[in-house]
């Protein structure tokens, strides 16, 4: 079974990091251009292991799980 994270605002997010709660809960909890700040903001909102998604300008999306 293929699982995807679909960010509705992807076209407006080029060059940004987006933090979501989990691979299942895709609610955006933080976003910005600095991955450390995005991660720390998600952690400060009580997200234990946020998933960071980097939406690059060249249609390549990278996904990181921060443990």
- Write the pLDDT tens digit of every residue in 4-45: 455 555 556 678 889 999 888 888 899 999 999 999 999 999
| pLDDT tens-digit map of 34-63 | 999 999 999 999 998 899 988 877 766 667
**Please, which pLDDT band fits residue 1 given cuts at 50, 70 and 90?**
very low
Q: Is the pTM of this model over 0.75?
A: no
User: Which runs of E-coded beta strand occur in 1-67?
Assistant: 16-20, 28-32, 51-55, 61-65
Asked whether 6 and 34 are in contact (CB, 8 A), the reply is: no
What are 45's two structure tokens?
């909102």
Asked whether 27 and 20 are in contact (CB, 8 A), the reply is: yes
- The pLDDT of residue 25: 85
């Amino acid at each position: 079974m293929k699982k995807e994270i679909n960010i509705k605002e992807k076209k407006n997010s080029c060059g940004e990091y987006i933090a979501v709660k989990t691979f299942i809960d895709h609610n955006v909890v933080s976003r910005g251009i600095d991955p450390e700040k995005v991660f720390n903001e998600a952690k400060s909102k009580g997200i234990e292991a946020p998933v960071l998604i980097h939406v690059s300008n060249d249609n390549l999306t990278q996904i990181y799980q921060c443990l």
